[in-house]
Amino acid sequence: MNSRKVLIAVLLFFDIQNLYALPSFSRQTGQSCASCHLSYGELTPQGRQFKLTGYSEGNYVIPLSITGVVSDTKINSTSSSIDPSITMPKNSSLIPEEASIYVAGKFYGRLGGYLKLTLNLSNTTPLLNSQGIQTGTKVGGDTYLDASEIRYANNFSRGGHNLLLGGTLNNAPGTQDLWKISPVNSYSFRSSNLLSAWEVGQFGPTALIDGGLNSQVAGVSLYAMLDDSIYAELAGYTRFSTPLKVISLADNLNTVSTGPNPYWRLAYNHVIGEDSWMVGTFGMITDLKHDPETPGSSGGEYTDIGLDAQYQHITDLHSWSAHMTYINEKIDWAGKSVIRMNHDSTHSELHTLKAELGYNYKHQLGAQVFSFYTNGSTDNNYWTYSQNVSSGACNQTNSELAFCSANGSPKTSGYGFELYYEPMSYMHFSLQQTFYDNFLGGSSFYDNSSGNLRAAKDNNLTYLYAVFSY
């Protein structure tokens, strides 16, 4: 796998796939998937309680599930590319996108969880000639341990109050969260893996906490829930790398420090009848080391602080939900990337906002509308396209980005919708459409492979996919 494609896919534009309704959980609890999931990837109050208590409710069953995804991803225009078969392979083609096997359920007593091994069938690898010039692109498999967790929890009651205490071991900050709006779990609940292969982020640049560390770290967290209302969690993460690439995506590029890289979560949750709502905050401080051999390597101290809110109204016939997530990221480049003139200044910020409104009919038909907005510090050395640039992410000697800004701004904004149908519990069909008003700074930006200008609307995305589970 090309390490630079891994870097940009993971650090800037990574679209991690979430834990969805698994048949092994349904067999364990004896309940339908709809009891724990409102829509694809979104937990109900009962689903959150099942996760909170360590996936231990119900009987012991063989904890195995498998899922497969077939899809067709289309970007609106490839005219700016000299050879789209190299820069955007499999555009507008029906492909087997992904296959996963889960060990998921109740392991022993109050101990449970899920381990997800994913085969990304749409990963791309450049084909080079003897002079090192890319002549094509191979679309093939890449197997790794996807976002996974193991957790233990126990209840304690005294004086009319209930305190649940637990702990988790996981490899993706946020995957342990109960609400599907924090990083890793937030909308869109599924994005095309080809976007990472093409180095196109559905929502543009994103904060490091928003999927940028998945399958590269290992962390332990302790959490508490008081009276099913007040939730608090504290975790620490460290670099996780082994010679077995099937276990971790981490390599020598932009490595995470050995720790503690703290993560925290606070939330207030309220459930009354058919309605529930939550307001919360989360954050993480990450020390990302700079690789001196790689121009554009994004080393620095990342401080991410987020705010989120959720509302759900769930009935057997009509259900509604609304979600909002805001993340402020402050980055201190001092002593790292700036030494190589990769950034305009020693500090920068990135602000991301996502909102989504969903409707579900009889737990079978659904529609969602969403909007997103990203902006931050102008950084010409990093984001701006120039034929003479030799450092930063848009350098022309060791380029890492598929697209570059015309003005040094990361500003990206747009909106979209998703329509889905679930004829039965283990089948999901969906059409997702994303429209862009701005991409990397405005209504136009550069194709870094050719130097040609692109309009933001050229990146409009159509994603048609089907998921099958057993």
Start-to-end C-alpha separation, the chain = 30
Sequence-ordered strand ranges (E) for 171-258: 217-226, 230-239
Could you write out the DSSP letters of every residue in 187-209? SSS---HHHHHHT--TTSS--TT
Angstrom CA distances, 466 to 73, 92, 161, 356, 461, stand at 12, 15, 44, 21, 17
- Pair of tokens at residue 109: 């007593």
Asked which of 79-83, 320-324, 375-379, 416-420 is least confident by mean pLDDT, the reply is 79-83
Percent of the chain having pLDDT more than 90?
Answer: 51
Confidence tier at 81 by pLDDT (50, 70, 90): confident
Q: What is the mean pLDDT of the chain?
A: 84
Q: Do residues 360 and 39 lie in contact, with contact meaning Cβ atoms separated by under 8 Å?
A: yes
Q: Do residues 353 and 372 lie in contact, with contact meaning Cβ atoms separated by under 8 Å?
A: yes
d(CA 145, CA 23): 20
Confidence tier at 390 by pLDDT (50, 70, 90): low
d(CA 293, CA 182): 34
Residue 399 has a pLDDT of 58
HSE of 69 in the Cβ direction (CA atoms, 13 Å)? 24
Residue 200 has a pLDDT of 80
- The pairing of strands 427-438 and 461-469 is antiparallel
* Mean pLDDT of the region 317-327: 96
d(CA 134, CA 396): 14
Other Cβ atoms closer than 10 A to 149: 22
Could you write out the DSSP letters of every residue in 8-20? HHHHTS--PPPP-
Compute CA 57 distance to the chain's CA centroid, rounded to the nearest angstrom.
28
pLDDT tens across 242-268, in order?
A: 766 666 665 545 577 777 899 999 999
Q: Is the pLDDT of residue 215 over 80?
A: yes
Q: Whose CA is closest to 302, among 206, 371, 420?
A: 206
* Mean pLDDT of the region 435-462: 93
Q: pLDDT higher for 183 or 463?
A: 463
d(CA 398, CA 393): 8
Torsion angles phi and psi, residue 3, rounded to 5: -65, -30
Sequence letter at residue 419: L
Helices marked H in 20-169 — which ranges?
A: 23-29, 45-52, 84-87
d(CA 194, CA 120): 10
Q: Is the pLDDT of residue 40 over 80?
A: no
The pTM score is 0.89
H or E segment to which residue 326 belongs: strand 318-332
Q: Is the pLDDT of residue 6 over 50?
A: no
d(CA 213, CA 224): 24
Q: Which domains does the chain have, with CATH numbers?
A: 3-469 (2.40.160.10)
Sequence letter at residue 91: N
Q: pLDDT higher for 114 or 17?
A: 114
Confidence tier at 21 by pLDDT (50, 70, 90): low
- The pairing of strands 111-120 and 42-43 is unpaired
Q: Is the pLDDT of residue 126 over 80?
A: no
